Structure formats: C-alpha cells, structure tokens
Chains A and B, each alone.
Chain A
Amino acid sequence: TKLDDSKMAGAEGDDSLYPIAVLIDELRNEDVQLRLNSIKKLSTIALALGVERTRTELLPFLTDTIYDEDEVLLALAEQLGSFTVLVGGPEFVHNLLPPLESLATVEETVVRDKAVESLRKISQEHSPVDLEVHFVPLVKRLASGDWFTSRTSACGLFSVCYPRVSSTVKAEIRQHFRTLCSDDTPMVRRAAASKLGEFAKVLELDYVKSDIIPLFTALASDEQDSVRLLAVEAGVSIATLLPQEDLEALVMPTLRQAAEDKSWRVRYMVADKFSELQKAVGPEITKTDLVPAFQNLLKDCEAEVRAAAANKVKVFCENLPEDSRETIIMTHILPCVKELVSDTNQHVKSALASVIMGLSTILGKDNTVEHLLPLFLVQLKDECPEVRLNIISNLDCVNEVIGIRQLSQSLLPAIVELAEDAKWRVRLAIIEYMPLLAGQLGVEFFDEKLNSLCMAWLIDHVFAIREAATCNLMKLVEKFGAEWAQNTIVPKVLGMANDSNYLHRMTTLFCINALSGVCGQEITTKHMLPVVLKMSTDQVANVRFNVARCLQKIGPVLDSSALQAEVKPVLEKLATDQDMDVKYFALEAISVLALA
C-alpha cells in the first residue's frame, strides 16, 4: 500500500494547478446548487489533492464546516462512505471518522441515517486494532451524547463492531446498548428497539438470553406503542436465534401479549410479521399458539389489522405442518376467511382477494370446489372493483387445480363489468390481465366472449386505454398466432383507418406499429402496408406524421423491394409536406431506413 500511496499522492497532487483554497472555495460557493455539485464531486477534488492532503487538509476542513443545507450534508455523508481509497486505503480509514461523527449528530434524519450507513460501511475496512482504538470510542461518544440524535445514531453502530473486538470491549458495548434501550427519549428507544434484532444476531447465545431477552421484554411493554411495535420485529429475529426449548419461556409470553396489545398498531405489526414469526417459532408453537392468535387477528376490531392478517392467509396456511395442515385450515382458518369475504371494509376484502385463490393448491380439488369456489364467486361480484380485479388476476392458481371452466360463467359478467367501469384505471387494470385470461380460457371462449371487448377498448376515449389495448392485441397475437390475427383482429384494425375520427385512424397506425412484428412479413406487406400508405394523404397532419413514424417502425419487417418501390416514394413525398413535424419524421424515417 505504501507504494500505491506515493503513486497516488505524487503525480496528481500538483499544488500550482489545484491549490486547496480554490477547491475549498467551490465547496463554500454561495449558491447551494453549486455547493451541492462540488460535494457530489468530492472524490474528484480528493483525487486532485492526493491522499496526504486529503487527509491533512480536506478532511479537517469538512469536519470543521459542518453547518450547511441538509441536502449538501446528505451528499457529503454518502461520499465519505466510499472514500477509503482516497485517503490512502484501510490503514488510514479512521481519518474519515471525525466528519462522519459530526454528520451522525445532525438533526435531519436522512443525513444522520446516511452517515450511519457510511460508518457501517467503513467499519468493515478497519483492522480489529483500529476498530478498538478509533471506531469503538466514536460509538461510545455518540451513545452518551447530550442530544438524542447522536444516541439514535449510535444504536445502528453496535452490531458492526461487536463481533471483531475483545471481550472487555464487548462487555462495554453491551452495557451501552442496554443504557440506550431505557433512554428517556422515545426516539432513542425506538432506534434501539429497531436495532435489537440485528444486535442479538451478533451476540453469543448466552448473552442473547441474559442481556437481550430482558431488553426485549422491557421494550415490548414500553409505554409508547411506537416502541412496542418495533420490539415485535426484534422478537421475530430473537426467536430465530434461540433453541426451541427456550422459546416458550423466553419470548412467547411477550409475543402473545403483543398479539393482544391494546394498540392496533402493535397488533398490525404482529399480523404483518406473521409469516416470519411462524417460521421462527416452528410447527409446535404454531399449532398451539399462532393458530388461535391468527384467528383473533383475522377477527380484529380494526380493519387495518384484519387486512394485514388477510394478506398472510395463504402463506400462513402453506407453512402449516403438513400432518395437520388441512384440518387446521378447514376447522380454524376457513371459517374466519368466510367471514372476511363479506367484511365491511373494502381493503380487507381486497387483501383477502389477492391471496385467497392460493388456498386452492393447498386444499386440492374437492375442497376447492366445495368450500372455496363459492367464496371466489362472491368476491367476483363484490361491489369494489379492486376485489374483483384481485380475484381475476390470480386465476392461474385455480386453473391448475380445478380448471377455469367452473368459474367462467361467473367470470364473464365480472370481466365485462370491469371492462366498462367508469374509472379508466380499473379498465386499464383489467386490460393488463387479458392476455393471461385469454391463455387460460382458450381461443374459442375468447373469440366468442372477449374479443369484442378488446376491440371496443381501441376506441376508448382515454388515450392510456387505447394504448394499453394496442399492446394487449400484440400479446394476444403472441399467444394465438398470426393466422388468428389475420382472421379476427387485423380486418377490424384496418377498418378503423376509414373512421371519421382522426384519433381512431391514428389507433390503426399504433396497432400496426405493435402488430407488424408479431404478424410477420407477409401480413404486414400484403394487408397493412397498403393501408398505411393510403393514409399518407390524410388531411390531418398528426395522422401523416404518424404514417412516417409507422413506416419507420415497420420498415425492418418489409423486404427491400417493398421498401424501395412503395415506402420510399411516399416518404419522399411526406418529406416535402408543408407541416414541419411531418417533414421531420419523414426525414428521420428516410435516414433510419437508409433510403436516402
């Protein structure tokens, strides 16, 4: 490294060219935007100065002048995280600590978080000795800072230094963490609670039991629900660390209490982390504890909690122990699910609809037909479009188990209704599922029932819908093939070229753009090209320049004789159009297709 240093410092650190004052002036520019630009190029400045002057001049300057716009500080905090090489490599990395320490104490959360992120990053580049001599003292200073910001930042630094220090220092670190967990500002306790799981992971198992468990228990019964809910997350991580026989005594009482917390936010968190929790505690506790807890969450009085739990129904069932899975689902979970289907809150129903179809693979054909199908059908008729959409978008799961035919009778009215929904976002969503539906329902059903919908979207009054409809046609052709396209959709698309509304005429062009590739040379040359060429004399300039763009787009599909004999003269004519946009796109097409 010594040799690298001298190389780095030598050639480029030319004082006459880049006096530090000039560079520092840039970092001090009155205009925030310019200051920000300079900070973002801090590595360039460091490079110009060379490693030694970066260490002795630039870094002290940065440390001393940390009073700036938060945006500038954020950029600085980020830069310093990858500055190791610019100060001369790992043996000098601790030179980066002073500015980052100051940044880790500022008020603005994003700056502080970024400083902590950079500190975590460069901690890995410290040797064990440097870690104890430079890094750990910094963590201790932050942990005992006066203002809450520095103590908050400290919480994120314990776990990165703990594994690589001596046992005396480890004891000190544990002590500091303990202190922060009972800090009198809730902000610090929240930070500590959110890092508890991560810290537990690097601790020796004995200390997890003796140190972490009491902290976890205390944080989980904090007076502030915002602290308690973070403890839930930590509890899940801690549970993965403990041997099965300790779980019941050490974490379950606290987690049970969290699942019944008086604050819905805590219960929400339990519901939200339920799958992780299930994995962490294993099959036995799942059976005895989690199943009843899950039932309660599905029946919670707050819709927020029910929705979070509903989201987990499939994964929870999937991960139940195989020997009792079906029984548990049928006797304990399904009754709750049935109630949720007619919940008063649409978010709950919609959360359920997004996973309920997944149960069919778990329960098999007979149970699906008998118990689930009626629920799907109810949800397909739900008043809320999102619920219906969620069911339709997950049809593939049912398709595998019972085939889609069972559903198609109910499916069709639901699709038609969504296709004509007054809200264009809903129409857009259903269009996006069309290719999937078409694949599952098969070409006959499609032609009979859905084709007309797909064509109707092409003349929707919202552009986004017409655009999506165009793209949808392309995907359908990919599924059903060019011959199908030629017989069913191409004639209709081309027919729109004579529409009196220029927007519809343009839709023809957009469709051709999308379809020529999948339809292939023959259909494109024989059927589409003549229509496009004919439209080059359209009275609306927007149509004409879209003809030029269309020709550019389909050019690669055509053979050279068609290009030369048919496309070229038309483009040349358009290139002399009186409208400048038409001219522009014609010339662009000529040059891209190399017809000049």
Chain B
Amino acid sequence: SALAMSSAATTPPSVDKVDGFSRKSVRKAKQKRSQSSSQFRSQGKPIELTPLPLLKDVSAQEQPELFLKKLQQCCAVFDFMDTLSDLKMKEYKRSTLNELVDYVTVSRGYLTEQAYPEVVKMVSYNIFRTLPPSDSNEFDPEEDEPTLEASWPHLQLVYEFFIRFLESQEFQPSIAKKYIDQKFVLQLLELFDSEDPRERDYLKTVLHRIYGKFLGLRAFIRKQINNIFLRFVYETEHFNGVAELLEILGSIINGFALPLKAEHKQFLVKVLIPLHTVRSLSLFHAQLAYCIVQFLEKDPALTEPVIRGLLKFWPKTCSQKEVMFLGELEEILDVIEPTQFVKIQEPLFKQISKCVSSPHFQVAERALYYWNNEYIMSLIEENSNVILPIMFTSLYRISKEHWNPAIVALVYNVLKAFMEMNSTLFDELTSTYKSDRQREKKKEKEREELWKRLEDLELKRSLQSDGIIPT
C-alpha cells in the first residue's frame, strides 16, 4: 500500500484530460498556476501588526530587543491565495523582512543568545508547511510549468534572511545546534519536494550551509537523504528536489575522507545506482553522473560494482535513457584505470555491442562515438584480443543491415580501426563469421529440441495424473 500513498496524491483523471487530440502543452498553457500551503488558507481573521521603529533609528543598546520583536512579528503568516486580504500588513512584513536581511548582513553584536531560538522560530513558522497536492495529476517537469509558491514575496526574504544568518560572522553553531536539530533538518528536507524551483534553489544553499556548519548533523542528513531517495526509487517515483539534493551530495562526496567508509560505498551501490531506474532520470541525470564520477575518482576500486550496476539497470525500452547511460559510461571511462577496465571489459562491451546495433540511430551513434575518444581507443587497442571478438558480429552485421547510412559509415570507420589494430584476429573473425553463425543456429535448434522434450514430458505427466494414460 505504498502505492495507496501516491494515488492519494493524485486527482482522478477527468474527461477533458483524456482527450488524445488536444496537445498537452496547449492544454497546460491556459493555466498560469500558483499555490500556497493548506495551512495558510481558511484562517479568515485579519492580522494586525503594530508598526515598530526602524532598527537604525534606535540606539545600539535597544537594537537587540527590537530585533527580537521584529522577529516575533514576522512569525505572522499571511494568506497569499487571497490577493486582497491584509494588503497593508503584507507590505509591512515585507519591508520588515527586508530590514532584517540588511541588518544581519551588516550589523555587529546583534546576535545575542536569546536571538537564536527566535530566528529559528520565525524561519520555521514561515517555511515549514505541508506542501499542497500537485495540481496536475500528470505533472511532467520537462514540459509543464511548475506551480509557483504564492507566498514567495515573503518566503524569499525569509530564506534570504536565514542564509545571511547562517553565513554571518557572529553565527555560532555551538549555540544554534540546540535549535537547528534533527527535527528541523527533517522538515527542511521535506520542503525539497516543493514544485517551485526558486524555493528549491534557496533550500539547496540552506542545507549546504547547515551541513557545513553542524558536524553533528552530517550523518543524520545523509541518512535522511538516503531515505528520501529510496522512497523515490522504490515507492513513489515522485520527489521534486532530487537534482538539488544530488548537487549537494556531489560536493559532500568530494569531501569524503579516504579510505571510504562502508556506509558511503553502500550509498553508492544501493542508492545512487538504483536512482538510474527512475522514469524521470533526465531531470537529475547530470547531477547523478557527477556524483558517480566523484566516487570513482575517490576510489577506483568501485569501478567494477558501478559498471555492473549500470549494466544491470540498462534501459530496455527507453532510447533516451539509453543515450544518457552511454553518456555517463563515457564519463566513467574517461577516468577509468586500465587495471579496472580489464576487470569489466567483457560485460561492458557485450552491452556496447548491443547498443551499436540498436535500430534507434541515436543510441547506435552515441555508442559509436566512443571510438572518437582517444583514451577509450587506447584501452580498446590494448585489449583488442578480448574486445574485437565481442564486437565483431554486431559490427559486421550492421555494416550490411543498418537502415541509417550515417551509422553504416561510422561502423565502417570502427571496423577499419579494428583492422588496423589487430589484422590477424580481424581476418580470422571474418573467415569464421559464417561458420560461427551456423554453429549458433545449431545450438539454437538443440535448445528448442530440449524444451520440446521437456514439454512432452510435462504433457505426459499431466495425462498420467488425470488418469488418461497409465503410469
């Protein structure tokens, strides 16, 4: 019933969305949408804030006190779906937030111990909220416009303020850690599901700062990101902030100490690799591939499990994804050590050989481009006695059969390169091509016969058990 969750989050399909004849982009263009969290709605009562003097207009001693008061005022949250309500107060809060942003950037000595809980409280009141259901049940992040957060005029300033606070020279993690704790981080991570890219961008910076400054929270943050990803891969396939989280991880991985801990390796193999299976891979593939390569640059011994993992999850039907996989594989091959290459070359080139003969010309083309990569070429050359026999059949066949002339031309070049690399083996393979095919056909026939015999046996068995023929 993990699925019940995702169906809960979607609206029933409506008749007008089912019509195959209206193009999706046309349908969507009509709606310029924005939304706000559930908690802001249905409050009803107008909010009254008593205007306070500007911080710069009071004496230095009075500032800390006034700062706290302003933080408390900014805890009031307005309903932005109602564009007519509380206009004056909304404007007042906006200017106060602006003032606070400037104040934490330039002031000195403002950050008393009492200010920490008030800052965290103000930020929490404003940013932590249950994200509303997605308006479109078939939201396609590649084509559809994201739903924007209606309260952004305030929200942006709150994020801005919080980042300046975290980056302030006076900021002391040892005090702040009492308030910026696991629960805070957990709520922060949930916000990464926001549909608004502007918000996710701010969240990325916030989380990055917190990860940098609070050593005690690091393991916890990594673990929760783990959980988000696992849920994304195995339960819902829906989470808007995967690319942002991966981007943060990219720099986290960069900072891992050597030798890598088992926990980190597990994260690579059991979380990052399975992320490749998700339907919406294109939205975060660049960041994902970056993380993978970071890992391999840290510890080349991980190359084999990584490549085996990619091969296991190789796309079966989606050509776009296949092209992405080939791209990532090339990034990996760019940094692979020759000793690692030898370990993985056989399964790897069996897959490449399949890609090269893909009827989808972009897939075939992407794979054939490997032969333009000097480093990969040098690896192939060193191991041509292994790789050539694997590749030969496919290359030979498509040089005669592929529908796309550009592919045929590329294949000729590859064959030529192989011929120059290892002419003895090449000639041998050419001369045995026919007999090899025949041997394969014979084997195929034997298989069929084996299965036929087995099926006869099963048939006989069921007749026996039905008492039709005696045992």
Kindly provide the distance from the CB of B423 to the nearest chain A CB, expressed in whole angstroms: 28
Contact B454 A48 (CB under 8 A): yes
Chain A residue total in the interface (Cβ 8 A): 57
The reply on B12 being an interface residue by CB < 8 A is: yes
With contact pairs A223-B186, A347-B14 given, residues A264 and B312 touching in the complex (Cβ less than 8 Å): no
In contact, B130 and A350 (Cβ under 8 angstroms): no
- Whether A7 sits at the interface, judged by CB under 8 Å, is yes
A residues near B231, Cβ cutoff 8 Å: 186-187, 226
Interface residues of B in 441-462 (CB under 8 A from A): 447, 450-451, 453-455, 457-458, 461
Q: Is A268 an interface residue (CB 8 A)?
A: yes
Q: Which of B151-198 contact A (CB under 8 A)?
A: 183, 186
Nearest-CB distance from B85 to chain A (Å)?
A: 15
Asked if A230 contacts B1 (CB within 8 A), the reply is yes
- B132 near A: Cβ within 8 Å? yes
A45 proximal to B (CB < 8 A): yes
Chain B: residues with Cβ within 8 Å of the partner, total of: 43
Contact status A272-B274, CB under 8 Å: no
Is B19 interfacial (CB 8 A cutoff)? yes
CA distance A147 to B271 in the complex (A): 12
Q: Does A229 contact B (CB under 8 A)?
A: yes
A residues within 8 A CB of B274? 107
Please provide the chain A residues from 261 to 275 with a CB less than 8 Å away from any CB of chain B in the complex.
262-265, 268-269, 272
Assess whether B334 is interfacial by the CB under 8 Å rule: no
Partner of A107 from the list B2, B133, B270 (CB cut-off 8 Å) is B270
Instruction: Tell me if A386 and B1 are in contact (CB < 8 A).
Output: no
Question: Interface majority SS on A: helix, strand, loop or mixed?
Answer: helix
Which one of A240-248, A300-308, A502-510, A535-543 is at the B interface? A300-308
**A217 to B76 CA separation, bound complex (whole angstroms):** 32
**Residue interface bits A550-579, CB-to-B below 8 A is 1, else 0:** 000000000000000000000000000000
B132 touches which one: A44, A194, A302 (CB < 8 A)?
A302
Closest to A265 in B: B8
Query: Nearest chain-B residue to A263 (Cβ)?
Result: B130
Interface residues of B in 116-170 (CB under 8 A from A): 130, 132-133
- Contact of B454 (CB < 8 Å), options: A41, A107, A233, A346: A41
State the CA gap A440–B18 with chains docked (Å).
Answer: 29
Q: Report B462 CB to chain A, min CB distance, Å.
A: 10
- Chain A 99-128: CB-based contact to B (< 8 A → 1; otherwise 0): 000000001110000000000000000000
A425 touches B18 (CB 8 A): yes
Given contacts A44-B455, A264-B38, contact A269 B8 (CB under 8 A): yes
Q: Which of B9, B350, B471 contacts A7 (CB 8 A)?
A: B471
Instruction: Pick from A186, A262, A303: contact of B39, CB below 8 A.
Output: A262
- What are 26 inter-chain pairs, A to B, with CB distance below 8 A? A12-B457, A26-B447, A43-B458, A44-B457, A47-B458, A48-B454, A107-B234, A187-B230, A187-B231, A190-B235, A194-B1, A226-B5, A226-B231, A229-B5, A262-B39, A264-B130, A301-B38, A302-B38, A302-B132, A307-B12, A347-B12, A350-B14, A386-B14, A423-B22, A425-B15, A426-B16
Besides the contacts A44-B458, A109-B234, A304-B8, what 9 more A-B pairs have beta carbons closer than 8 Å?
A: A47-B454, A47-B457, A109-B2, A186-B231, A187-B234, A229-B5, A264-B133, A423-B19, A426-B16
Binding site for A on B (CB under 8 A): 1-2, 4-5, 8-9, 11-12, 14-16, 18-19, 21-22, 38-39, 41-42, 130, 132-133, 183, 186, 227, 230-231, 234-235, 270, 274, 312, 350, 447, 450-451, 453-455, 457-458, 461, 471
